[in-house]
Every structure is written in C-alpha cells, then in structure tokens.
Amino acid sequence: MSIKSFFVIILAALITACTQVSDTKQTHTTSLNAVPLHYAKRFAIKTSADVTVLELLGNKTNNDVTATFVLYKNQQPDYGKDVYYIKTPVNRVACMSSIYTTMLTKLHAEGTIVAIDNVDYYNDAHIQQKVKEGSVIELSRGPKVELEKTLALKPDLFLTFGMGNPKNDVDVKLIQAQLPIAISLDHLEETPLARAEWIKFFSYFFNKEQLADSLYTITEKRYLALKNLTTSLTKKPTVLTEIKYGDAWYVPSGKSYMAHLINDAGGDYFWKDDNKTGSTPLSFETVYAKAKDCDYWINQYQVNNKKDLTGLDERYGLFKAFKEGHLYNNNKVQNAKGYSNYWETGITNPDDVLADLIAILSPALLPNHEFVFYKKIE
C-alpha cells in the first residue's frame, strides 16, 4: 500500500467517526419530544419512552432554563452536566407545601408522602392523622428546614419552592448530600389555570402524566365555562381585596393571579390597569382614596366577623362594602389553628374558587351555588 493510499483510508475513517458522533448527538436531542402546555410558562416538558426532562424557567425577563431535572425509569442517561437525575416512580416524598400534598393526593400518590413542612397549615385529615401517628414527620416547624431530620429521612424526592435553582433555593448541605430535589415555580405563574397546570409537572415523578392530563382537562373545561358566564355582563361590580398587613396594604397588582380571578369572575378590579405582577404595597390612605366606594371586599386573612375587622383598624368600617354588608372571606373551612383550606386546595381547584367569586359578585348567574371556600362576613 502506498503512503498516499494509507492517508486516504485514515482520512475516510476519521470522517466516518465524526459523522457517527454527530448522528449520536442528534439522535439524543431529537428523541425527546416537547409536551405542549396550555397556560403554564415557568416549566417545560420533553419526553421519550424512558426519559422525561423537566426544565424550570425561573427568569421573568426571558425563557432561560434555570434548572433541569432528568427523570428516568430504568438506566440513568447521560444528559450532561449541571442537571439533577431522579429515578421514577418516586416512593418517598418530602413535601414542603400543602399545595404539593394536594396535588399528590389528586394523583392518588398521597401514600408516598413521608414528610411535610408544618402540620399547622394543613386541613387535610389524612395528613393530620399521619403526622399524629408519626408516619409523616414535620421538617420545618420553624423558619428553616431541619437538616438532620431531612438527611436521616433519605427521601426519593424533596419537593419545595423557590426561584428555580436548587443551588440557591435549598440549603447547601442538602445539595452536598445529593438529595433528589425538585423546585416548584407555580407561585410565579400569573393566571389561575397556569398555576393549576403544575399538576402535570408533579405527575411525571410518579409516571401518572395521563391522569394529570385528564384531571386538568376537567378543571380547565369547567373554569372556562364559568368564565364564559360573565362575558355578557354590562355592569361589573368594583372589588377590593386584602387588608393592611403591618405598615402596608399589599394589593394584588393588575397582572397578578388574584386580578385575573376577579376579572374572570366579572369583577371590576381597582388596580386592573397596573401592569405589574405580584403585589404592590400601599398606604391605608392611598387604598381608601381609591376604593372607599367599593361594591365588594374580599380576602381579609383570618377575619371571621366585622368586629374582628374593625378591631384591627376602626377605619375599615368607613368602606362602602363594610357598611352595606358586602364582605366575603376565603376562610369558610379552617383548621384548629385558623388556617383556611383555600391556600391548600384552591390553587389546584381554581374552578371552585371562580364559582365562589361569581356567586358573590353576580349571584343571579349561579343561583343555587354552595360556597366551597368563601363565606360572608357578618
């Protein structure tokens, strides 16, 4: 063989090898199919037969991925660096919010819960009983998670909330222990149906995505049907929310979760033109000047009667809604500590919340409605 022929063969082999590597990478990428989401904007799903990739989008200003969770059923894949691998289905879960326990219950996965944050916040009788028996333990009776308890528990999944990056959202010792951690960003979603859609995110840890899709479709269909009832309203009642907390009255901003709920329920929200999300701190005087003639006033924290309200501040009695008896609070069902089930199950069932609000603002639209979360404050 001539030297020229030898180099031609070597070059051909190198080209073939490079092509094969390129094909392998392409196959790895294209084998994952994006799962469409209807409303949620803070996570993305990509799936294949054996692997699911969940991406968190924690930055509000862009769609950059802030964390990636690779869920696998059999052999752990090599997806790359700076990702979190979790084998599914998980069997032992630590849930750091009652919202997550509700979603797991809807997915028939409540039996996997071995730890929660603080039972004082729970109305769920099953969770309360399990804590009493000791089969579900509390991990954060105080402001921080109890590290020793958590590490000794060795859960298959530590489910918590934050801004999307476990390195920043979770104690470094939990990261160093290689605890399987997943962050939920449902609280960053701006609409009720977007927050409820996070049940799909949770479902993949239990291989119950079909159940999640079915449950969500039912919720979405009813929510949109209820919302449609209010589209023909010619006059919308004005709505005020919350009370002063500390030195400020934190009113939901115009693009917030609560503002969307009020609008969908046929209400005219005073701060609807505010384009921010989240809440805006205002003085009592500022709120009173704008909303003193409100038709309805909702969501007064743990207030149970008018006396409770004026006991906090006599000036609350000056509002029109107070004088005319149009006060409604989302604490119809409370546990022994006074915590409402609204924050526990309302996020997962926005259709029930919307139905309550429509029955408050336009009772003729739902004349036989039985309230789920709200009650009238007398």
The rounded mean pLDDT for the chain is 90
Q: What is the mean pLDDT of residues 42-51?
A: 94
**Residue 171, helix vs strand vs coil:** coil
Specify whether the CB–CB gap between 255 and 277 falls below 8 A: yes
User: What's the rounded Cα separation, in Å, for the pair 348 and 197?
Assistant: 8
**pLDDT above 90 for 14:** no
Q: In the prediction, which pLDDT does 22 show?
A: 32
**pLDDT above 60 for 15:** no
Structure tokens that stand for 125 in this block = 């009788």
**pLDDT above 80 for 18:** no
Q: Is the dihedral of CA 357, 298, 242, 103 positive or negative?
A: negative
Q: What is the mean pLDDT of residues 108-126?
A: 96
Structure tokens that stand for 363 in this block = 């009772």
Q: In the prediction, which pLDDT does 59 show?
A: 82
This prediction's pTM: 0.89
Q: What is the mean pLDDT of residues 278-285?
A: 95
Q: What is the mean pLDDT of residues 148-170?
A: 88
Going by pLDDT thresholds of 50, 70 and 90, the confidence category of residue 373 is very high
DSSP lists the bridge partners of residue 51 as 72
Going by pLDDT thresholds of 50, 70 and 90, the confidence category of residue 27 is very low
93-95, strands of its sheet edge to edge:
137-138, 113-116, 93-95, 157-161, 181-184
**Residue 44, helix vs strand vs coil:** strand
CB atoms within 10 A of CB 175: 15
Closest CA to 371 of 342, 336, 338: 342
**pLDDT above 50 for 10:** no
Specify whether the CB–CB gap between 303 and 316 falls below 8 A: no
User: What's the rounded Cα separation, in Å, for the pair 49 and 123?
Assistant: 38
**Fold observed for domain 232-376:** Rossmann fold (3.40.50)
Q: What is the mean pLDDT of residues 85-110?
A: 96
Which amino acid, 60?
K
**pLDDT above 90 for 154:** yes
**pLDDT above 50 for 197:** yes
Query: Which region among 180-184, 235-239, 300-304 has the lowest average model confidence (pLDDT)?
Result: 180-184
Q: Above pLDDT 90, what percent of the chain?
A: 79
28-220 and 232-376 share one CATH topology?
yes
Q: Which helix (H) or strand (E) holds 179?
A: none
28-220 placed in CATH 3.40.50.1980: yes
Q: Name the residue ranges covered by the structural domains of the chain.
A: 28-220, 232-376
DSSP lists the bridge partners of residue 293 as none
DSSP lists the bridge partners of residue 86 as 71
